[in-house]
Chain A
Amino acid sequence: MSMRRNIKTMLVIFAAMFVVLSVYLLYTVNAYGTRWFSNPYNTRLENQKNNIIAGDIKDRDGTTLAGTNTAGDRTYIDDSSMRKATAHAVGDNYGQTFGAENFFSKYLLGFDQSLLERFSRMVSEKPSYGSDVYLTINAELCDYIYAQMGDYKGAVVVMNYKTGEVYAKVSKPAFDPKYVAEYLSGKRALAGGAMVNRVTSGRYTPGSVFKIVTAVAALRYIPYVESRTFQCGGPLAFDRQTGKYLPAITIDEDEQTKAGISGEYRVLRDYNGDYHGEIDFVTAFNKSCNHVFAVLAMEIGADRLARVAKELGVGDEFLFADIVTASSSYEKPNSDVDLAWSGIGQYTDIMTPLHMCMIVAGIANEGVMMEPELLWDVRTTSGVSTYTRRSAIYKKALSVTEAAKLKAMMLSAVKNGTGRNAAIAGYDVGGKTGTAEVSSGAIKPNAWFVGFVDDHTHPIAICVVLEQGGSGGGNAAPVAGKALKKAIDLGVAK
């Protein structure tokens, strides 16, 4: 009832409100500032281009991918396939995509110049140049990968799993940065979706590569799972109405099961009807057995599986300093049948190629997921480096033991399992294939391969997605294998 005491209380509340206001301001500008500033809608960037000559964009070896000529126009590397291969990493000059041209405009357009530089420039009356930006990608690798993808649409990302540097960020189909003005005016035709960066914005159904997540959950929550044997004898049956798992029912492989319906049941089957009989956990992973992983998913339970997905970064709104990327998502299923499908990467599971690569990189890196980096260095026109690259840890997602076990499983998947097409002579490659169904038969499934090279001098991880590529092992794995070999040959990680 004391008025004075109430006033004091309200004062404390007001003070807290204003502190929150200040903290929020600082936090939000720190976390999102670069993206807001670099947003193509920000006309300040356009205006600055009138005052300054934009710096060059180069790859890590110094190959100039984008530059400005004496007339003030933006020029690109002569090789047209290399232009397209690096297009999404480099970006365009018309604010259509969110590549380096926009994202690193702070450096390219000289916003970060120190007073001393400006002063000396003014005194010497030289024209003003922005700084040159060196990306972590290797243009030759990107070019090679782009060619290897053939006619498939999709995405390939290659990362260093110890430092997080991105060596290749290829999205196909790609636009040609040289002709963006002509695309906009309609003079030139553009393939559908060419402006979309499938590596970071491609939200795909993961299919069997999601079994990595399920495997982690199994190792964590199911005791002695490695010493168990499972019976993979045929499709699993679920009640049509409630979706409840009916373990007692056995179903014959026949025409109806192909479509997932067998009379009054909903059915989950293995790819091409291959059933493996008596099988253990590691072999089930190698052979990508749907039956076993569906059963495991149901044993793990929706809550725990969702929790593991979250711990691996699914659903996180990634706030990386160098890259803007979409989130992956895992919706917690409510019925057995949905849970079973979600455990093998179907249902409503969504992953981006970049995120899958980060997870695999984490496995290869003893459980530590690194933040992907695109910026290698920034140098002024006089060659002075103004940027110190720091590798940042995104998450310590797995324990060292868990990572070691998964690594072993993935190595064996390439040696003896579905990933054998990704093997390279002289190096141990680990991986997982995925064949993600995207419709009930009409459209071919997406082909996935995620993997890594088990070598200290070449700590490389990769993710390949080929839209409508069919079998992951058949079509995605060979692309991955060749890409990894090329990366090793080029010595990107040195």
Chain B
Amino acid sequence: MYENAYEIVVLAMRYVFVALILYILLRLVLHSITEFRAVQQIKEQVRGVSSGYLEVLAPQELRGETFVLRRENSIGRSKRCDIFIRHESLALLHAFIYEKKQGLFLTDYENRANVYLNGELVKKGEELLYTADELQLGDVKLKLHLNGEQAEEADGQ
């Protein structure tokens, strides 16, 4: 008698399990979509305003500071720069980071020969920047972080 009753319960539960798993799947997909949309919105906003930020790696006293990048950023010791870093090794106006169609570019302002990209001296002209690139201006080491789709365009040719 017990086996028969158990059997009937098991057979009835088949439908319950299928319904449950399908509902779980549905909820999962719906939640996922909502969250995806929220993240996309955030990214839109961030992207709309800035393409990324610079993070200071050295010297020790400035380490961890971040500077948001806009379309054009002058970098230097002067307070009138878009990104102003307080360090004697920097010139008043040291370097320039600006956005073009192909991506973000770095240039040594007035060829002071004191701007390094990933260890190499930046000579005449402009250098295309990639995310995680390391810049050195004077004694200040900076790491570049690019955002969202900008990362893609910067990586592209």
Residues of A within 8 A of B (CB): 1-5, 115, 118-119, 122, 125
Q: Is the CB of A1 within 8 A of B11?
A: no
Which of A2, A115, A118 meets B152, CB within 8 Å? A2
For residues 1 through 47 of chain B, which have their beta carbon under 8 Å from a beta carbon of chain A? 1, 4-5, 7-8, 11-12
Residues of A within 8 A of B4 (CB): 118, 122
How far in angstroms is the closest Cβ of chain A from B117? 20
Residues of B within 8 A of A3 (CB): 152, 155
Closest residue of chain B to A121 (Cβ to Cβ) is B4
**Is residue B81 within 8 Å, beta carbon to beta carbon, of the partner chain?**
no
Interface of B is mostly: helix
Closest residue of chain A to B152 (Cβ to Cβ) is A4
Knowing A122-B4, A122-B5 touch, does A115 contact B12 (C-beta < 8 A)?
Answer: yes
Residues of B within 8 A of A (CB): 1, 4-5, 7-8, 11-12, 149, 151-152, 155-157
Cα distance A1–B7 when bound, in Å? 59
Closest residue of chain B to A114 (Cβ to Cβ) is B11
How far in angstroms is the closest Cβ of chain B from A309? 44
Q: Is the CB of B156 within 8 A of A115?
A: no
Q: Is the CB of B12 within 8 A of A1?
A: no
Q: Is the CB of A118 within 8 A of B11?
A: yes
Cα distance A5–B152 when bound, in Å? 8
Instruction: A2-B152, A4-B152 given; name 18 further pairs at CB < 8 Å.
Output: A1-B155, A1-B156, A1-B157, A2-B155, A2-B156, A3-B152, A4-B149, A4-B151, A115-B8, A115-B11, A118-B4, A118-B7, A118-B8, A118-B11, A122-B4, A122-B5, A122-B8, A125-B1
Residues of A within 8 A of B152 (CB): 2-5
Cα distance A144–B156 when bound, in Å? 83
Q: Is the CB of B8 within 8 A of A119?
A: yes
Closest residue of chain A to B153 (Cβ to Cβ) is A2
How far in angstroms is the closest Cβ of chain B from A229? 69
Cα distance A1–B152 when bound, in Å? 9
Closest residue of chain A to B5 (Cβ to Cβ) is A122
How far in angstroms is the closest Cβ of chain A from B151? 7
How far in angstroms is the closest Cβ of chain A from B147? 12
Cα distance A122–B149 when bound, in Å? 65
Cα distance A370–B151 when bound, in Å? 62
Residues of B within 8 A of A5 (CB): 152
**Closest CB pairs A-B (n = 9):** A122-B4, A4-B152, A2-B156, A2-B152, A1-B156, A1-B157, A118-B8, A119-B8, A115-B11
Residues of A within 8 A of B5 (CB): 122
Residues of B within 8 A of A1 (CB): 155-157
Closest residue of chain A to B149 (Cβ to Cβ) is A4
Cα distance A4–B1 when bound, in Å? 62
How far in angstroms is the closest Cβ of chain A from B68? 22
How far in angstroms is the closest Cβ of chain B from A10? 15
How far in angstroms is the closest Cβ of chain A from B34? 19
How far in angstroms is the closest Cβ of chain B from A124? 11
Cα distance A5–B5 when bound, in Å? 56
How far in angstroms is the closest Cβ of chain A from B40? 14
How far in angstroms is the closest Cβ of chain B from A109? 15
How far in angstroms is the closest Cβ of chain A from B108? 27
How far in angstroms is the closest Cβ of chain B from A389? 27
Closest residue of chain A to B7 (Cβ to Cβ) is A118
How far in angstroms is the closest Cβ of chain B from A269? 66
Residues of B within 8 A of A122 (CB): 1, 4-5, 8
Residues of B within 8 A of A4 (CB): 149, 151-152
Cα distance A417–B5 when bound, in Å? 69
Residues of B within 8 A of A125 (CB): 1
Cα distance A405–B5 when bound, in Å? 64
Cα distance A2–B157 when bound, in Å? 8
Residues of A within 8 A of B7 (CB): 118
Closest residue of chain A to B148 (Cβ to Cβ) is A4
Cα distance A118–B11 when bound, in Å? 10
How far in angstroms is the closest Cβ of chain B from A447? 53
Residues of B within 8 A of A2 (CB): 152, 155-156
Closest residue of chain B to A3 (Cβ to Cβ) is B155
How far in angstroms is the closest Cβ of chain A from B4? 4
Closest residue of chain B to A116 (Cβ to Cβ) is B8
How far in angstroms is the closest Cβ of chain A from B8? 6
Cα distance A115–B155 when bound, in Å? 62
A-B contact pairs, 25 of them (CB 8 A): A1-B155, A1-B156, A1-B157, A2-B152, A2-B155, A2-B156, A3-B152, A3-B155, A4-B149, A4-B151, A4-B152, A5-B152, A115-B8, A115-B11, A115-B12, A118-B4, A118-B7, A118-B8, A118-B11, A119-B8, A122-B1, A122-B4, A122-B5, A122-B8, A125-B1
How far in angstroms is the closest Cβ of chain B from A148? 49
How far in angstroms is the closest Cβ of chain B from A11? 13
Residues of B within 8 A of A115 (CB): 8, 11-12
How far in angstroms is the closest Cβ of chain A from B39? 15
Residues of A within 8 A of B1 (CB): 122, 125
Residues of A within 8 A of B12 (CB): 115
Residues of B within 8 A of A119 (CB): 8
Residues of A within 8 A of B151 (CB): 4
How far in angstroms is the closest Cβ of chain B from A113? 9
Closest residue of chain B to A125 (Cβ to Cβ) is B1
Residues of A within 8 A of B155 (CB): 1-3
Cα distance A119–B7 when bound, in Å? 10
How far in angstroms is the closest Cβ of chain A from B3? 10
Closest residue of chain B to A118 (Cβ to Cβ) is B8
Cα distance A3–B151 when bound, in Å? 10
Cα distance A122–B157 when bound, in Å? 74
Cα distance A125–B5 when bound, in Å? 11
